[in-house]
Structure 1
C-alpha cells in the first residue's frame, strides 16, 4: 500500500503505540483486499461496545489502549451495550455481568467515544452525508448509511472499527470505490404485490433479499414509496439473513434514481421475481416456532424511532399487557427522552410494557427468564432469536405483536 508521510510516521510509532498498532492492523487488512491506499473517514461506529461481543478479551484490549493514552481521532459512537444502564436489575441481569459492561463504558469514555448506545447512530450525533467515507460496524447501521444516506463504508469487524477510529482512516477498497457500489441482482416486484405492500412486508422482503443475495448488491424495483423506518427494517433484515451492506431501491435511495444508474449501466447478473407467493414463503421461514402462548414480545430492533414510539403508544392506549407476558421496547436515550416529553413513554409503561434503553434483546443475557416463545416484528431479531435467546420465535406485524402482548396468544401467519 502507498502510505502518506503522515501515515508512515504513525506506523513508525511517532504518534504513540495505539495509533501505530491500529494503522498496522488496517494496513494488513488493506493488503489482504488489494487496497492501494488509505482514505480519511469522517466518523466511526463501534460494535465492540457490548460486553457480549467484546468479552474479557475486549476489556483487556481497551484497558491497554487507555493506559497507553488512546483517543479517537474522529467522531465515534457506541453500539448498544449488553445492559440497560439504569434498569438492568429489572431484566434479571447478573450483577457481575452488569459490572463488566459498566467497565467497558468507562474505558470507551476515556478514549473519547460518544456514549450513544444505539444501533441507529444516524439518528443521533453521527449523521453521515452523501459521499462521505466512514469506518462503521453494526450491520444494520452500515446498510442504512450506505443505502439510504449514500455514505461509504465497509462492514467492519469489532476492533477493526476501533482501529479506524483511533487513526481516522480505513483502507480504500470495497464499498469505498464507486465501481464496487453498482447493483448486481435485480429483484422485480409483482405489480399486484406493489399495490398491496404493507408495513410488515419490508422486513419480510429484506429477509428474502438477504437470503438470495448473500454479500452481493441487490436492486429492488417496484416499491412505490418507503418511510425512514421501513427502509431501516428492510436493511436490517437483509443484513442479518445475508451479508448485505448496500442495496439500491429504484426511485427511493439516492444512488438509484433510475434502474440504469443503480446498475452503473451494466445488466444484472441475476433477476428474481417477487410476488405474493414468495413473500408468503419467506414469512413462513421467518418463524422458528408455532403459535400459542406468548412469553415475551420484543419490538424496537433496530432501535425504535419517535414515530414508532408514537405507534406503540397508540396501540397500547387504554390496554394492559397480559399478566404472563413481557413486552419490551428497545430504543436509545435521545428517543426515550423525546417520547417521554410527548407522553408516549407514560402510555407505554402504564400498559405494563418495559423500555430497554441503550441495549437490545440480542445483546442481553436472557437465560434467567427461561423464555419458550418470543414474538417480534423485526426481521433481524427473528433471524437471531433461536441462537441468542434460545427460544422459538414467531414473526408478526407490529399490530399483531402488540395484540399478542395483550392477549398472551399469537397465531403463526
Structure 2
C-alpha cells in the first residue's frame, strides 16, 4: 500500500486551521484514502451529496452536528433527492415524525451551503463539470453519468463521505479518478440490435441492466452502436448498469468522450459478450414482475425526467385522449427541469392527460404512490429493478410509447415487434 502524502494545506486542515468541521471531515477523507491506497488527495471542483435522503436518526444527527461545528462547503455542491416534495406538501404519505425529520435533514444540508437542487440528475443543470475535471459525486446514476458521458472523474462516494469531500474540497486519488482504472474490462457487441430498438430509452435501460450483470463493478464498453445516441439513452443505460451491477463508468465507442475508438479504452484481448434482441427480451421480462395485463399506475422519471423527455411525452400525448380513469400517473423531475417544461408547455400537456408531477424526491424510494396501487408501468430499468422491493408494487417495463398507450387503454399494450427486432 502506497504511503499517503499530504500537502501543507492538508496538514493544516487536519490540525484544525479551517475549523473543527473541516478537521473532522478531512479525517474521514484521509481514512478512506488510506484504505484505498491513494498516494495523495485531490482537489475537487464540485460535489453532489446523496445523504439528504432520510433513512434514520443517525443521518440527521450527523448533518446537524457538522452544522453546529460551523461546517460550510468549500466547493459548489448540489443535493440529491430528499424524502419529501417540498413544493407539494402532503404528496408523500409519511407520518408526522418522519416528515418533520426529513424536512430537518434537508434544511441541515442547505444550511451547510449546499444548493437545494433536490435531484438525482445534477448533470441536467447548467453547471456541469468539464472533461477531465475531478469531482466528488454521490448517487450511482450521477456518478456513472459524470464519468461516462461528461468525461469528468469521480469515484463512488456514499453518505457522510460525500459531504466530507464537499466541506474539505478533497477526495482520495484512487478508483475512477485514475487512468488505469478507467480502461474497459468487457466489451458488449451490440451490432446485432436493430436501430429501431436502440431508438427506445427503455431498451437502453434493459441493455444497461444486462451490462451491469456482465461487468459487475468493472467498466463495460459498447460497440456496434450508431452515432447520435442521446443523453437520455445514456442516462437510462448508466442508471440501470449502476443498479444491477456496480458500474461507475462505461464507454460507447464513437459516442462517449473517452472512446473515439475501441483501442483508446481497451486492449485487443478484451472479453466480448455479443448482445441479441432475445437477450433484451429476457431482461425486459425478468424486470416485468406484474402478471396479467392490469395497470394501476404509470411512473416515469427515474432518473429524473429531462426537458427532452417531457417533450417526447407531450408529443405522444398530443391532442389524444387522457389516461384511463383507473390509471394514476406520476412523473418525477427536478425543480429546474419542471420550470423549463412549464415554460415550454410540456408540463401542462402532461397534467391535462392526468399526470401528477413530483419534484424533490423519487417515487421508488418514498411513499408517493397511492396506497392501493398494486401494479405500475414504467420505462425505467432502474425503477423496475428497485420498486418491487422498496415500495411493494409489481412492475411492467416498456417503452414510453407503450407506457402512454397502456395508461390510456387501462391495460397493457405491447409492441412486440419492437422487442423482436
The TM-score with structure 2 as length reference comes to 0.93
Q: 1:195 to 1:375 in 2, by over 3 A?
A: closer
The root-mean-square deviation of aligned C-alpha atoms, in Å, is: 1.6
Q: 1:192 to 1:164 in 2, by over 3 A?
A: closer
Tell me how far apart the structure 2 counterparts of residues 174 and 411 of structure 1 sit (CA, whole Å). Answer: 44
What's the counterpart of residue 181 of structure 1?
A: 182
* Residues 185 and 268, structure 1, Cα contact 8 Å, conserved in 2: no
Tell me how far apart the structure 2 counterparts of residues 26 and 82 of structure 1 sit (CA, whole Å). Answer: 26
What's the counterpart of residue 166 of structure 1?
A: 167
What's the counterpart of residue 337 of structure 2?
A: 335
Tell me if 1:237 matches 2:218: no
Q: What per-residue deviation string (whole Å, max 9, x for no partner) do you get for residues 95-124 of structure 1? A: 433322221221111100000001111121
Tell me if 1:29 matches 2:32: yes
Q: 1:66 to 1:395 in 2, by over 3 A?
A: same
Tell me how far apart the structure 1 counterparts of residues 317 and 99 of structure 2 sit (CA, whole Å). Answer: 30
Quote the offset at 1:411 in angstroms: 5.1
> SS of the counterpart of 1:144?
helix
> SS of the counterpart of 1:300?
strand
Tell me how far apart the structure 2 counterparts of residues 187 and 46 of structure 1 sit (CA, whole Å). Answer: 31
Quote the offset at 1:20 in angstroms: 1.1
What's the counterpart of residue 324 of structure 2?
A: 322
The TM-score with structure 1 as length reference comes to 0.95
The aligned runs of 1:304-323 (5 Å cut-off) are: 304-318=305-319, 319-323=321-325
Quote the offset at 1:268 in angstroms: 4.3
Task: Please say which of residues 313-322 and 376-385 is displaced more in the overlay.
Answer: 313-322
Quote the offset at 1:195 in angstroms: 6.8
* Residues 81 and 361, structure 2, Cα contact 8 Å, conserved in 1: yes
> SS of the counterpart of 1:405?
helix
Quote the offset at 1:410 in angstroms: 1.6
Quote the offset at 1:196 in angstroms: 5.0
Quote the offset at 1:324 in angstroms: 2.0
* Residues 366 and 389, structure 1, Cα contact 8 Å, conserved in 2: no
What's the counterpart of residue 353 of structure 1?
A: 355
The aligned runs of 1:329-408 (5 Å cut-off) are: 329-366=331-368, 369-408=371-410
* Residues 365 and 387, structure 2, Cα contact 8 Å, conserved in 1: no
Tell me how far apart the structure 2 counterparts of residues 113 and 195 of structure 1 sit (CA, whole Å). Answer: 42
Tell me how far apart the structure 2 counterparts of residues 44 and 385 of structure 1 sit (CA, whole Å). Answer: 27
Q: What per-residue deviation string (whole Å, max 9, x for no partner) do you get for residues 338-358 of structure 1? A: 111111111111111100112
Quote the offset at 1:366 in angstroms: 4.5
What's the counterpart of residue 44 of structure 1?
A: 47
Structure 1 segments, 4+ long, off by >6 Å, are none
* Residues 301 and 330, structure 1, Cα contact 8 Å, conserved in 2: yes
What's the counterpart of residue 249 of structure 1?
A: 252
Q: 1:134 to 1:141 in 2, by over 3 A?
A: same
> SS of the counterpart of 2:336?
helix
- Unpaired stretches in structure 1, ≥5 consecutive residues: none
* Residues 330 and 355, structure 1, Cα contact 8 Å, conserved in 2: yes
> SS of the counterpart of 1:383?
helix
Quote the offset at 1:16 in angstroms: 1.5
* Residues 209 and 243, structure 2, Cα contact 8 Å, conserved in 1: yes
